[in-house]
Amino acid sequence: MPRRLAILLSGRGSNLEAIARAVGRGEIRDAAIVAVVSDVPSAPGLARARALGLPAFAIDRVQFSTRRAYEGEVLRVLEAARPELLCLAGYMRILSPEFIGRYPGRILNIHPSLLPKHPGLNSQQRALEAGDTVAGCTVHRVEEGVDSGPVLLQRTVAIEPGDNVESLSRRILEEEHRAYPAAIARALEELPAQP
């Protein structure tokens, strides 16, 4: 039985694609992406998922009056797909404690900074403004609170003189595409397989 992954995203989907390609190359051993869910129907990541032949679900947040109702629909889709691990990949919503409680220790997120430095938005810009000499990315388990939770893996990127937000973000993203598949493989090894 392949290990079952679900991806939640809101935008571009380059991490989704990196994960899918790593699965395809066997770098995440014996795994399958069983659902890609986006809260934004127009997210390019959903189109990428479809192009990769993955099951893609748009669950438009604005069609639901409450977070509870929206998350209920996401949970319904996930319960049918039965993922062992949920991977947030540019998913721009904060999950409720109730949602997180349904997948304890089984939700991962990737963030473009060396957490605990620069949580939240515009991390690359804040690393530059702080005069940091090293930036990078972090894969962590999701707990309540923005970009908190135990770190699984970090990869560093040197900040060069003359770097701007675009150049630094591009190099961090390249490392994200290595870090996320590696962290997923590690997390799956540590998780007992589900029946």
90 interacts with ligand GRF by CB under 6 A: yes
113 interacts with ligand GRF by CB under 6 A: no
Output 13 or 181, the one with its CB closest to ligand GRF: 13
Catalytic, 177? Answer no
Count CA atoms within 13 Å of residue 161 on its CB side: 0
Angle between helices 14-24 and 44-51 (to 10 degrees): 20
Out of 111, 118, 141, 155, which residue is the one contacting ligand GRF (CB under 6 A)?
111
3-state secondary structure of 67: helix
Q: Which residues, numbered 148-177, are part of the site for ligand GRF (CB under 6 A)?
A: 173, 176
Query: CA–CA distance from 69 to each of 21, 103, 129, 142 (Å)?
Result: 33, 18, 39, 21
Q: Which residues of 108-146 are buried (b: 16+ CB within 10 A; e: fewer)?
A: bbbbbbbbebbeeeebbebbbeeebeebbbbbbbbbeee
Out of 7, 8, 13, 95, which residue is the one contacting ligand GRF (CB under 6 A)?
13
Out of 15, 34, 49, 168, which residue is the one contacting ligand GRF (CB under 6 A)?
15
Q: Would strands 107-111 and 31-38 be described as parallel, antiparallel, or unpaired?
A: unpaired
CA distance 43 to 58: 9
Piece in contact with ligand GRF (CB under 6 A), picked from 4-12, 28-36, 60-68, 79-87: 4-12
89 interacts with ligand GRF by CB under 6 A: yes
181 interacts with ligand GRF by CB under 6 A: no
Binding-site size, ligand GRF (CB under 6 A): 14
Output 9 or 188, the one with its CB closest to ligand GRF: 9
Output 163 or 194, the one with its CB closest to ligand GRF: 163
- Omega before 116 cis (within 30°)? yes
Total Cβ atoms within 10 A of residue 154: 17
- Contacts with ligand GRF by CB under 6 A lie at 9, 11-15, 45, 89-90, 110-112, 173, 176
Which residues are tagged catalytic? 111
